[in-house]
Structure 1
């Protein structure tokens, strides 16, 4: 049995809103809880997708894996070793984790040529000019761009081309894990599919592991092996992709699935519209954090925090996960033209 490449154990991340001297003196420090007690693992070679609404804590959790943030409590392990912020990590760990950001042009230095951008991590690791040039030429072609792009600057590229350059830079040091933070959300739908296909090709060829952040389940359906659903800093459900799409065991996941258009024009799920906005992470609800918007919530949900419940291949944080999984209609009924 292989050992997970990433292990996240009971991780909490809080950001101070007011931790001034006077707030501390009066005991009135205020914090935003971005991630609240999350535990999960990522196996070598798999794609784990993190999905949820904006503000659910997806990117913060990913940033603790890459080292942009350190946990307030809990641990993040890479290859079995506890890792903190990037400044405290050794060179081997830093090289083993790549990252691709949401805004392709914003993540590339506008002052540099494409050749210089892709060569940045190689130069930082001491590669010679000749070695860098050969590697960069190989990388640009590997992301299906010609060498004619190398003298250009980011503003001369389309969004899809810029993201291909970002991917080339991310794989330059032969990483084992790549964190993809909303890598296609800023692109047109037709371009999204091409970038997802490229990522899948690279994963097979280079034996990569992906942590894929998205707010749209439709985007990750074809690339993810497992999907972890987050809401207000907590996990709601983790399941293999095909199981989550057909046998979800959590009401929140069902609301996300209901937003995906059906490929069958004669059969369309009823869209579930949640009441209100996601609550403030400064003052999270008691009990199940989703209960203030859940159509099925009762008094028990409002007062008791749900424990993880295993339903087949799924793990669900819902008091009524088993009953929900058995209900074919769940929240969203099915509208048919029959």
Structure 2
């Protein structure tokens, strides 16, 4: 399964096309995302194991949502059953991805605790106050730990971004899928930077009015994952069977690129054809001369000569003649 490098602007197109996919069935998307959030909250209430179990099975939920995106693209409706569909098809490799992600998170947290020390751990987990003399040291450790967390979490997220889709759509083994996902994200690092910055800004705007905007943003994030997968791995935009894809922002971008490429190819073809014709005329008829009226190149032995001027046709010869002045 090969992946492609896309233009930087595609990072924004993924969000726009994802929003278009959400807009096709907004109520269904809100219901599916609300159900997933309710499952996450319920499982987090289970002591100790709840959050770990949800992290393990979260790729299965994501794969089900991606199946819903594909069904919508093929003209079928989205419903709550898509959320659990991957549990019936290929759950073990998806849970393996969740397990690798969970182990990575645990290792990162352990490393942060080791760097930050017990004082930072007590402050973050239990709200313990520290003396002013110790505050600078704790804050320095906190900054270092935060930077390390960010540096390690981004590669882990890159490896997990496309891997559920590669497993559910192409039956790729989980380890290989995570490797391909990581390198696909790495090759398209600039589009993902634009994508991430845009999502951060949209999240800030969505939270401001009492978080109402998250009702739209969360489904759009899910749909944008599917759009980015199609763009990078399949090298194609959304294609709806009901032929409504003409309004899609990404489809418009692809159409513009294809139109420009077609025009460029057509121009090059015409240039080559014109050069070939000139060469053919030159080789068969000898010297070329330029028509004084239309500047067309013609063979000298076929041109009409008049006062050291040449014309490609009798009509152009007559048109070029000066008109007689009327008597005064």
Q: TM-score, normalised by structure 1?
A: 0.22
Q: Which has the higher helix share?
A: 2
Q: TM-score, normalised by structure 2?
A: 0.23
**Which of structures 1 and 2 has the larger relative contact order (alpha carbons within 8 angstroms, sep 6+)?**
2
Q: Which has the larger radius of gyration?
A: 2
